[in-house]
């Protein structure tokens, strides 16, 4: 950010670790400049006059999903995050961004990785904090031996994890692997995408719900694209039927199972589809009361054309990348949409990444 003034950083790894690069920016400047990211993205798309809500703030120490990188260098294990614009792993001993229960695992994980023969040079450890404990997925660059698996089991027991997995293969399930995502109780697959913070997720959900058209009935249909494990689906189901599309088979299975558990299978249809290769067509979208989309970092790409060519008049776009949002919001403007509401969410505190929810309506 553009500030010359600085404040002391809260983390000892600041300046070396590639995460949280804005820790030394004074709060008022940080908040103003980050909100400006959304102002600029929408202005770039031609919506210079869009009304933008105050930014929803998310505190440090609340991140519940962390993907640590690991390297073995001359026998020693480095565990942490990549240095800025580098593949080097910065070995960390603390992470004030993460929930304390995640930060407390850093030391023990380093010891565990050191014992695993299947960890040769590089690997990663993804941690999701679920409702009843931590869910850990370890990715190695070599074959895990029986001894490695025993180390993982012992580690999970010692640390009281609900599950430990090798990639997407559970090695031990030791507790209830569930997460309430606003109405649906899901069992996320190992390493599942979750919104990084509970507060950020709640803010996104609230902005999406506030952006729905007013005249919904229980028969109305909402098309949800990039639905993941159903983070938004449960809340949407309270208002309308939902047709959910998602590219991960495992996430679809988790969402379907959660819908069965909640007794709402008659109101939601889940389809596993790669929306980059086979976007939902304008014909399939026809008659939907709204499209809610939460695409990956690069945006929705070819899916946008079908949305614009459809007769859908309300589009709620959840974005984690202001550049992709600027590009795709411009297409929506060219397709006849205006901005009804825009909410920035500081889902990635102390970084330059901004989450936002923008509600578009087709102009008469």
Ligand X SMILES: C[S@@+](CC[C@H](N)C(=O)[O-])C[C@H]1O[C@@H](n2cnc3c(N)ncnc32)[C@H](O)[C@@H]1O
Binding-site annotation, residues for S-adenosyl-L-methionine: 195, 226, 246, 294
Q: Which is nearer to ligand X, 208 or 308 (CB)?
A: 208
DSSP structure string for 23-72: TTS-HHHHHHHHHHHHHHHHHHTT-TT--BPPPBP--TT-B-EEEEEEEE
Please report whether residue 247 would count as binding ligand X according to CB under 6 A. yes
Q: Are the beta carbons of 194 and 179 closer than 8 angstroms?
A: yes
Please report whether residue 193 would count as binding ligand X according to CB under 6 A. yes
Give me the helices (H) in the chain, please. Answer: 27-44, 100-103, 106-115, 146-159, 198-211, 233-237, 249-262, 282-285, 303-309, 322-334
Distance from C-alpha of 228 to C-alpha of 165, rounded to nearest angstrom: 19
Burial of 100 (0-12, 13-18, 19+ CB in 10 A): exposed
Distance from C-alpha of 313 to C-alpha of 345, rounded to nearest angstrom: 24
Residues with active-site annotation:
320
**Is the sign of the CA dihedral 321, 327, 331, 334 positive or negative?**
positive
Q: Which of 140, 156, 232, 359 binds ligand X (CB under 6 A)?
A: 232
Count the site residues for ligand X by CB under 6 A.
17
To the nearest whole angstrom, how small is the minimum distance from the Cβ of residue 25 to ligand X? Answer: 26
Distance from C-alpha of 206 to C-alpha of 180, rounded to nearest angstrom: 16
Please report whether residue 190 would count as binding ligand X according to CB under 6 A. no
Please report whether residue 228 would count as binding ligand X according to CB under 6 A. yes
Please report whether residue 246 would count as binding ligand X according to CB under 6 A. yes
Q: Which is nearer to ligand X, 90 or 227 (CB)?
A: 227
* C-alpha distances in Å from residue 353, one per residue of 38, 53, 54, 183: 11, 17, 16, 28
Q: Which is nearer to ligand X, 232 or 315 (CB)?
A: 232
User: Hey, what are 9's tokens?
Assistant: 């950083």
Please report whether residue 231 would count as binding ligand X according to CB under 6 A. yes
Q: Which of 128, 137, 197, 248 binds ligand X (CB under 6 A)?
A: 248
Please report whether residue 197 would count as binding ligand X according to CB under 6 A. no
Binding mask 208-227 for ligand X (x = CB under 6 A): ------------------xx
Cβ atoms within 10 A of the Cβ of 214, count? 5
Q: Which is nearer to ligand X, 223 or 320 (CB)?
A: 320
To the nearest whole angstrom, how small is the minimum distance from the Cβ of residue 33 to ligand X? Answer: 24
Q: Which is nearer to ligand X, 30 or 193 (CB)?
A: 193
Q: Which of residues 258-287 bind ligand X (CB under 6 A)?
A: 274-276
Name the site residues for ligand X (rule: CB under 6 A): 193, 195, 226-228, 231-232, 246-248, 251, 274-276, 294, 296, 320
């Amino acid at each position: 950010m553009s500030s010359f003034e600085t404040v002391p950083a809260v983390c000892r790894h600041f300046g070396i670790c590639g995460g949280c690069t804005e820790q030394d920016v004074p709060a008022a400047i940080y908040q103003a400049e980050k909100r400006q990211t959304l102002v600029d993205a929408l202005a770039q798309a031609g919506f210079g006059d869009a009304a933008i809500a105050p930014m929803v703030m998310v505190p440090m120490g609340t991140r519940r999903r962390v993907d640590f990188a690991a390297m073995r260098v001359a026998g020693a294990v480095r565990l942490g995050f990549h240095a800025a614009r580098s593949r080097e792993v910065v070995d960390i001993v603390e992470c004030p961004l993460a929930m304390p229960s995640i930060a407390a695992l850093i030391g023990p994980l380093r010891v565990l990785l050191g014992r695993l023969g299947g960890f040769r040079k590089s690997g990663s450890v993804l941690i999701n904090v679920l409702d009843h404990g931590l869910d850990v997925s370890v990715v190695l660059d070599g074959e895990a031996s029986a001894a490695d698996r025993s180390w993982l089991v012992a580690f999970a027991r010692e640390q009281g994890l609900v599950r430990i997995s090798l990639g997407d293969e559970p090695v031990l399930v030791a507790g209830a692997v569930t997460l309430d995502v606003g109405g649906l109780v899901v069992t996320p697959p190992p390493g599942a995408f979750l919104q990084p913070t509970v507060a950020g997720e709640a803010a996104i959900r609230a902005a999406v719900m506030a952006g729905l058209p007013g005249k919904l009935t229980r028969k109305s249909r909402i098309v949800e694209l990039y639905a993941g494990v159903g983070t938004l689906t449960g809340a949407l189901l309270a208002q309308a039927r939902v047709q959910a599309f998602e590219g991960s088979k495992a996430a679809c299975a988790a969402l379907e199972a959660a819908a069965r558990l909640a007794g709402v299978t008659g109101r939601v249809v889940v389809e596993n589809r790669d929306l980059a290769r086979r976007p939902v067509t304008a014909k399939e979208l026809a008659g939907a009361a709204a499209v809610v989309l939460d695409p990956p970092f690069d945006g929705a790409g070819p899916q946008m054309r079908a949305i614009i060519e459809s007769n859908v008049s309300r589009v709620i776009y959840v974005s984690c990348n202001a550049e992709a949002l600027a590009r795709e919001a411009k297409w929506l403007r060219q397709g006849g949409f205006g901005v009804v509401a825009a909410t920035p969410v500081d889902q990635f505190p102390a970084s330059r990444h901004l989450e936002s929810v923008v509600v578009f309506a087709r102009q008469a």
